[in-house]
Amino acid sequence: MTDEVTGAAAASSRDDAARRSNPDAEVVEICRDLIRIDTSNFGDDSGPGERKAAEYVAEKVSEAGLDPTLYEPEPGRTTLVARWEGTDPSAAPLLVHGHLDVVPAIAADWSVDPFAGEIKDGCVWGRGAVDMKDFDAMVLSVLRARARAGRPPRRPIVLVFTADEEAGGRKGAHWLVERHPEVLEGCREAIGEVGGFSLTVRDDLRLYLIQTAEKGLAWMRLRAKGTAGHGSMRNGDNPVTELAEAVARIGRYDWPLRITPTAEAFFAEVSDALGIDIDPAGGDVEATLARLGTFSRMIGATLRNTANPTMLDAGYKANVIPGEATAVIDGRFVPGAQEEFLATIDKLIGDKITREMLNVDSAPETEFAGALVEAMRASLQAEDPAGRAVPYLMSGGTDGKAWDRLGIQCFGFAPLKLPPDLDFVGMFHGIDERVPTESLEFGARVLDRFLDLA
Ligand SMILES: [Zn+2]
């Protein structure tokens, strides 16, 4: 009995010691806590907002000795900023950012409660597990461990936990850039989503995809105006017909390959890693991509511009030809291709249809080189000798578009060593979103090493 008690006490003091010094000690727990705070972003203000999550983060960073500031463009839509001083105050600060909001989840579709932060089969399950409460938790776990151990980072770090990323960041990152650019003063580089995750090629080779570019976004409404009239009459100026043809032309358009410098660098690294010669401009590129498994879905979408019709609206009665019909198109362009993209759309819609931009956002691109990239490579390899960092262009958008407005170079670097069979790309905004606990702990350790080198 006595021995058991002593044993338990020794174990618990070992736990305490581990908790004090290990960067990965709290990552799983914090990730679960954050998932349990529902921050669903419906794209309007009908969701719960980010304030509760921001207050949770504020408590965690305050305990580590930081002095956080909360910003709210609107009540409940909270972004947190905190400065973490480094040992070299003359070094340029590094922006480390994560968003607090998540896309909604319909509980009935899930096999677990999406907001319970359950652990099952070695994974933390729940909305935000990979997008991106995982990285938020890594940052907090590493910060707290280093604070306890008296190990500040080399460079000053500006920590930003944003609201509203999932709706474009107008009430989060973009707002901060417009209204409080002073908090980011001196920042030239940033790390955040979406990148740093592994893609297993062979037992002895894992590619870690570092995001160095992202596609731009062009959401637009097309409008056809015509002559309203009785549905029983002949009508050569029917806006529904006109619009439907334009929408079909866009939807069926075969966009040509547009290989950006990032895509070229990606294929060069992959060619080298696999020992094969991939010509990204060649016709066999899709076949090569297939070898990368589910990830090929994402890469495939980054080799060209895309435009998908997503909404249609016209008419109000079966026998009335309306005077107008509208459609919404989700357009995405690769870095450097915005003008070409819009010119192509205009050609496809013709002159009878007008185009109104609903949302346009940039396609930033950063070179995969320099000291920060070396720090990523080295910290990944120290934790995974079979790992190899590779740049890639991401098909979606992130808060990086906002930081880019201040000239900050953005890298998607939220390290995760993943099991080979996990459909990681499918986890984003997907049903049964989850992340292995070991992957979270790995990420925290890499991030900790990275802060020594960055
Ligand atoms: Zn995200």
Same domain, 153 and 107: yes
* Burial category of 210 from C-beta neighbours within 10 Å (exposed 0-12, middle 13-18, buried 19 and up): buried
What is the structure's pLDDT at 390? 93
CB crowding 92-128: b at 16 or more within 10 Å, else e? ebbbbbbbbbbbebeeeebebebbebbbeeebbbbbb
From 206, 178, 177, 175, select the one nearest 190 (Cα to Cα). 177
Ligand 1 midpoint to CA 67 (Å) = 25
Mark whether 120 and 234 lie in a shared domain: no
Q: In what order do the strands lie in the sheet with 123-125?
A: 119-120, 123-125, 434-436
- Whether residues 93 and 108 share a domain: the answer is yes
Residue 285 located in a structural domain: no
**Within a domain: residue 300?**
no
The radius of gyration of the chain's CA atoms, rounded to the nearest angstrom, is: 24
What's the CA-to-centroid distance between 411 and ligand 1, angstroms? 13
| Residues in the chain where the model's pLDDT stays below 50 | 1-6, 19-20
Q: Are residues 59 and 189 in the same domain?
A: yes
268 in a structural domain: no
Whether residues 22 and 165 fall in one domain: yes
Domain count, the chain: 2
Residue 105 covered by a domain: yes
Q: How far is ligand 1, taken at its centre, from the CA of residue 128, in Å?
A: 8
Q: Which residues surround ligand 1, an ion (CB under 5 A)?
A: 131-132, 193
Q: Are residues 334 and 410 in the same domain?
A: no
**Ligand 1 mean position, distance from CA 429 (Å):** 9
Q: pTM for this one? A: 0.89
Does residue 420 share a domain with residue 326? no
CATH of the domain at 93: 3.40.630.10
Distance CA 336, CA 70 (A): 35
Q: Which of 342, 360, 378 is the last residue of a domain?
A: 360
Q: Are residues 220 and 80 in the same domain?
A: no
How far apart are the CA of 3 and the centre of ligand 1, in A?
A: 49
Q: Is 438 contained in some domain?
A: yes
Domain assignment present for residue 301? The answer is no
Cβ atoms 99, 399 nearer than 8 A: yes
- Residue 319: domain span: 216-255+306-360
**322 Cα to the center of ligand 1, angstroms:** 40
Cα of 297 to ligand 1 centre, how many Å? 18
The domain that holds 238 is classified in CATH as: 3.30.70.360
State how far the Cα of 142 lies from the Cα of 191, in Å rounded to an integer.
15
Give residue 269's pLDDT. 85
For residue 10, being part of any structural domain is answered with no
SS3 string of the chain? Answer: CHHHHHHHHHHHHHHHHHHHHCCCCCHHHHHHHHHHCCCECCCCCCCCCCHHHHHHHHHHHHHCCCCCEEECCCCCCCEEEEEECCCCCCCCCEEEEEECCECCCCHHHCCCCCCCCCEECCEEECCCCCCCHHHHHHHHHHHHHHHHHCCCCCCCEEEEEECCHHHCCCCCHHHHHHHCHHHHCCCCEEEECCCCEEEEEECCEEEEEEEEEECEEEEEEEEEECCCEECCCCCCCCHHHHHHHHHHHHHHCCCCCCCCHHHHHHHHHHHHHHCCCCCCCCCCHHHHHHCCCCHHHHHHCCCCCEEEEEEEEECCCCCEECCEEEEEEEEEECCCCHHHHHHHHHHHHCCCEEEEEEEEECCCECCCCCHHHHHHHHHHHHHCCCEEEEEEEECCCCCHHHHHCCCCEEEECCCECCCCCCCHHHHCCCCCCEEEHHHHHHHHHHHHHHHHHC
Query: What is the spatial distance between Cα 227 and Cα 352, in angstroms, rounded to a whole number?
Result: 12
* Inside any domain, residue 272: no
- Same domain, residue pair 316 and 389: no
Which among 298, 332, 360 is the end of a domain?
360
Dist. CA 234 → ligand 1 center (Å): 50
